Structure 1
Amino acid sequence: MKKRMILAFFTLLISIFEIPSQIYVWKNGKVIFSVENEYPDSVTFTNPNLSVVEPADTIPPDTFLFSVNDTLQVCFAPGNLQYNDYYFEWRFAENQYDLIGISNSNIAPFYDGWIDLFGWATCGWSTGFLPTSTSTDYRDYLVGGSWDNSFVGDFATADWGALNKIGSDAEHTWRTPTSKEWNYLLAERRNADQLFALATVANVKGLILLPDNWKTPEGVKFIPSVSTEINNHLVYQNGLYMDEEMLDDHYADNTYNEAEWTVMEKSGAIFLPAGGRRWGNTIKNYPTNPWGIYWSSTTGAQEREGNVRALSFYMSGVTPLAETSRVWGCSVRLIQEITSIRRKIIVGDN
């Protein structure tokens, strides 16, 4: 059996990022196995079919980064979060533009179908509520029994990405963005207003987000929704982007078929489909003039204790710091911190 040592490759990373004892060995985007080691600067594993590849950049290729504060970058999950209660299975949508849509109205315990609109903090663990909840009483969605608890500290496990194994990914690989992170992404990072647009992708309406180092690929066109090329373009005021008339359909600002979107996606574009929202078993704001509402991990203001923060968008505006009742079933798109990405070992075939 061959033995391969992973030595100096980790030394610098450990001192900067405080790598935990669990290290994931992965290939082609999937975890092959993991190793436990108290001091992960020296890890030995044996496998005749794998060899270590040490790239100049420890970030995997085709990883596109989005700044969510002055010092932190993240990547986005490859699709919206979905759940099947019959099999107790979590996964990401196969395509970024995939939606469950009206079929979310079938939500029920042990329902053998997929849902993608969730009440807030419905991770299925003790710090949260059940993913199939249709209750319209906000008190059923309080983390730790109090309106002012967010997904942090003792209540971090209320996050959908904390204790749930999503696809082939280990626990704690993903997490929900905070409200400040949604706002930084859309309003505060460098060139923020040039890195998003309302759009229609494969006949699905939604919001495009672009990575920090975006370059529009050949063969497609991208126009930010704030561009003066657009009649009655969006203007940022008082924490939200709106057009003056509040009537124009900005989902038409950019339109891509599946092939064109593949080109955009390979260059790092993220698409958040507008899937509406669910009240009990009733689907609202979809499919006509659909809204997109994406949860943050942050609770709302004290005077509205039933509310939490969310990213909200519809045909004529984008609101990074919206508030909505935690009883609504809304979309979830998780993120992964770049420090977590750097902790992985890239391996390839012998």
Structure 2
Amino acid sequence: MKRIIFLAFVAIFVMPTVSAQVTDFYRPGGFDYNGASIKTFSVSDTSTVQFSRGNLQYNPSLDKWRFALRQYDYACGDNANIAEDYNGWMDMFAWGTSGWNSGATSYQPWETNSTSSNYQPGGDGGNNLVGTYSKADWGIYNMIENGGKFAGMWRTLTKDEWGYLIGNNAKRSGKNGLATIGGIHKGLLLLPDEWTLPSGCSFTAGHTNGYETNRYTYAEWEKMQAAGAVFLPAAGYRYSADVRNMGENGLYWSTTCYDATSAWYCFFYNTDISRTNMARSNGMSVRLVRRVQTPLVQNGWVDMGLPSGTLWYSCNVGTTKPQGNGTYFAWGETRQKANFEWSTYAYGTGSDALTKYYDVDGLTVLESGDDAAKKALGASARTPTKDEWQELKNNCTGEWTQYNGVNGWMFTSNANGNRLFLPAAANRNGSLDENDDVGVYGFYWSSILHTNYTHRAWCVYFDPSRQDLDECDRFEGLSVRAVKSVDYREWVDLGLPSGTKWYSCNVGATTPWGYGSYFAWGETTPKENYDWSSYRYGTGSNELTKYCTDAEHGLDGYTDTLTYLEAIDDAARATYGVGARTPTLSDWSELSSYCNKEWTTMNGVVGCKFTSRNNGNSIFLPACGSIGGTDIYGTGESGSYWIAQLADPVYAREFIVQSSGAGNTGSGRYRGLAVRAVKN
């Protein structure tokens, strides 16, 4: 996509459907300066979101994204002009057309191709706009001009989140209804979780009288909006370049696919408010949301929901406040000093006069005694590696902002919404007071020596426009932010009658939310291809060489009496040693009988939480899907786990967790499934 830097701000006092200007100075009541609703909306039992100030709009000629200037605005018939060079605003998009090359044939926001199979991220109709393909979500990939101006601040709701939002549950029941504003703008009204009806206004939930169920003058609507109400206009939809049902139907995309050519969306019209599915090639409205911002931890460790499980400290070394600059350190030094030059550096007087961490000793990572984070915060703390800085960036939304009046970079976890603030403390080269750039940029050390230049070390740099890996001379004074690793791997006592303990992570994972490795039944190592041709104990359903009780399915009539995994073929035992094993059907049944099941998320990963009714301990089984051939299926929707026994002569048993429940079934033993270990 094209990138154009120039941006003009012009006040617009009429409907903005044909203007090429990006925004005006109108800020709707009930929304903050980033365009997020001040009030919040539950989209599950455990998560809430803030809505954007208007429908998403795009100008192809400017290559700019914005939110509609008023909640009831939409581009109307202008969507019929959709084209790569169109100099106007459009707001109906085919599914997954954020402009990011997801591997789909069609992915640009101006797409009009009516072949729905062209809109498959990764070329697979089963992929949703999450995880690996999250950048196909308009809000994740794009910077919104009047929505914070940083990519990744927003996202689209899932099918289940739309269902919860408009559903009949304790938090959302009675909180939506059809409405008309100013006599002409028809749509769906959403009330926040915490709601007080403004004086002089009324509200009736549902669609009893269609769009006449609720009627508001513009003045009444301003009151409702200021109190937190969100309005989704009935903007219709686009088929190719034909715009249909404007002012009659509202169709709003989710990130969830229905089948290979269709996707789920929220749908409303005069007699209904529901979810359904439609061909992905149709252009529909997009209304983005963002996770509710959590308060900053003031002086402690922060779980940012990272795949590694690494925790980050909330403050720089040398301060107890997130906005504090803290102490500046030369790389490998642990004490504060007044002057930062080669002449004062602990491990060399110049780039060619190093005495440690150079070609002779081969040291490339800070040793414990040279780590300022470890000295300040204890044995478990350390300076982040280059990869850990990259992991933080990859799994968080970053934005230049102010916290308590201090400029800096705010990381917000994409998994759990926790936040980390890095003040723009600049750096020191020379005397401690010889830098006027505090508040302009920030430099933070990593623990890793530069790959090619041993007088330099890797660091992180950020300013208002970017945040990235960089390098600095080792004598310079930079900020240090600490991390520590957490070992989540343990045997969990769930108070089961049998005394069986369950492992906290999948085999091959180091965190409870990690998918781990996938195994064919009876194999102990993961591989790239899961089909009969690569299966250890038979190359077909009639060519089995072990675990075969029927001669019809055995190679040359082979049979044995084995129906349970032997220890030598058990991936759990191979990983964790004697005593560990793959659960039997009885183990899984006991787990289900004595634990409460909850479909939830952990660090942004969907799965099923089993909580003991006897002692309150719990384990989490991520919805890791399964593998057939080289393709993974069902991630984020279901988790398939091996059971240590056959279902019949050909199939082995698997235990499946999904939002609708949990249970066992049979599965081709060649397929790749997860393994969760138990021991007695």
What TM-score do you get using the length of structure 2 for normalisation? 0.38
Structure 1 CA distance for aligned equivalents of residues 131 and 34 of structure 2: 29
Q: Could you say which residue in structure 2 is the equivalent of 1:270?
A: 230
Q: What is residue 252 of structure 2 aligned with on the other side? A: 294
Which residue is 2:99 aligned to?
A: 124
Out of 330, 333, 337, the residue aligned to residue 287 of structure 2 is 333
Q: Distance in 2 between matches of 1:113 and 1:192?
A: 37
Cα 1:108–1:331 shift into 2, 3 Å: same
SS at match of 2:114: coil
**8 Å Cα contact 2:42/2:172 also seen in 1:** no
CA–CA separation in structure 2 for the residues paired with 1:295 and 1:126: 19
Distance 1:188 1:286 in 2: 28
Q: Are residues 189 and 173 of structure 1, via their aligned partners in 2, closer, same or farther at CA, if it must alter by over 3 Å?
A: farther
Contact persistence 1:96–1:271 (CA under 8 A): yes
Distance in 1 separating the partners of 2:249 and 2:47: 28
Give, in whole Å, the separation in 2 of the partners of 1:85 and 1:345: 32
Judge conservation of contact 1:68–1:189 (CA < 8 Å) in 2. no
Pairwise CA distance, 1:163? 1.8
- 1:162 counterpart = 2:117: no
Q: 2:186 maps to what in 1?
A: 205
Higher RCO (CA < 8 A, seq sep 6+):
1
Match of 1:104 among 59, 79, 100: 79
Query: Is contact 2:93-2:285 (8 Å) kept?
Result: yes
Q: Which residue of 56, 66, 83 corresponds with 1:91? A: 66
Alpha carbons of 1:139 and 1:293: their partners in 2 closer, same or farther (altered >3 Å)?
same
Q: CA offsets per residue over residues 118-159 of structure 1, 9 Å max, x none? A: 000010111160100011001221111111100111111110
Q: What does 1:118-197 align with in structure 2 at a 5 Å threshold?
A: 118-127=93-102, 129-167=107-145, 168-197=148-177
Q: Deviation of residue 340 (structure 1)?
A: 6.5
Residues of 1 paired with 2:89 and 2:233: CA distance? Answer: 16
* Cα deviation code 1:60-104 (max 9, x no counterpart): 9x7101011111110000000000000100000000000111111
**Deviation of the 1:348 alpha carbon:** 6.4
Aligned 8 A contact 1:295 1:330 in 2: yes
Please say if 1:311 is aligned against 2:270. no
Deviations along 1:136-193, one digit per CA (max 9) or x if unpaired, are: 0012211111111001111111100112100143111000000000001111442523
* 1:225 is aligned to 2:206: yes
Secondary structure at the aligned position of 2:188 is classed as strand
Report the counterpart of residue 356 of structure 2 in structure 1. Answer: none
- Is this contact kept in 1: 2:42–2:171, CA < 8 A? no
**One-letter amino acid matched to 2:220:** E
CA distance in 1, matches of 2:404, 2:169: 33
Amino acid across the alignment from 1:182: W
1:304-341 deviations in Å (ceiling 9; x for gaps): x211000000011111x211111110000000011468
Which AA in structure 2 matches 1:72?
S
**Distance in 2 separating the partners of 1:150 and 1:324:** 15
- Residues 341 and 132 of structure 1: is their aligned pair in 2 closer, same or farther, counting only changes over 3 Å? farther
Q: Residue 176 of structure 2 contacts residue 189 of structure 2 at CA under 8 Å; is this kept in 1?
A: yes
2:49 is matched with which residue? 74
Measured after TM superposition, the shift of residue 30 of structure 1 is 5.0
Amino acid aligned to 1:293: L
Question: In 2, Cα distance between the equivalents of 1:185 and 1:262?
Answer: 23
Matches within 5 A, 1:18-97: 29-30=33-34, 63-97=38-72
Partner of 1:7: none
Q: Aligned equivalents of 1:115 and 1:179: distance in 2?
A: 24
Q: Is the 8 A contact 1:297 1:309 kept in 2?
A: yes
Alignment CA distance shift 1:327-1:279 (3 Å): same
| Conservation of the 8 A alpha-carbon contact between 2:100 and 2:135 | yes
| Aligned position for 2:606 | none
RMSD: 2.2
> 2:77 aligns to what SS in structure 1?
helix
Q: Paired residue for 1:53?
A: none
- Once the two structures are TM-superposed, the CA of residue 110 in structure 1 deviates from its matched residue by 1.1
TM-score normalised over the length of structure 1? 0.72
Cα offsets for 1:29-85 (capped at 9, x unmatched): 259xxxxxxxxxxxxxxxxxxxxxxxxxxxx9x710101111111000000000000
SS in 1 for 2:160: helix
Tell me the equivalent position of 2:195: 214
Q: Please, which runs of 5 or more residues in structure 1 have no aligned partner?
A: 1-27, 32-59, 227-232, 234-248
Q: Secondary structure at the match of 1:103?
A: helix
Tell me which residue corresponds to 1:43.
none
In 2, the alpha carbon distance for the partners of 1:300 and 1:342 equals: 38
Give the corresponding residue for 2:588: none
Distance 2:296 2:161 in 1: 20
| Structure (1 or 2) with the larger CA radius of gyration | 2
d(CA) in 1 for partners of 2:123, 2:185: 38
Conserved? CA contact 1:69–1:189, under 8 Å? no
Amino acid in the other structure paired with 1:85: P
CA gap of 1:123–1:275, structure 2 versus 1, over 3 A, is same
**Cα separation, 1, equivalents of 2:290 and 2:169:** 18
Q: Is the 8 A contact 2:157 2:255 kept in 1?
A: yes
Name the aligned partner's letter for residue 225 of structure 2: E
Distance 1:334 1:160 in 2: 8
Report what 1:9 is aligned to: none
SS in 1 for 2:44: coil
Q: What amino acid is the match of 1:338?
A: V
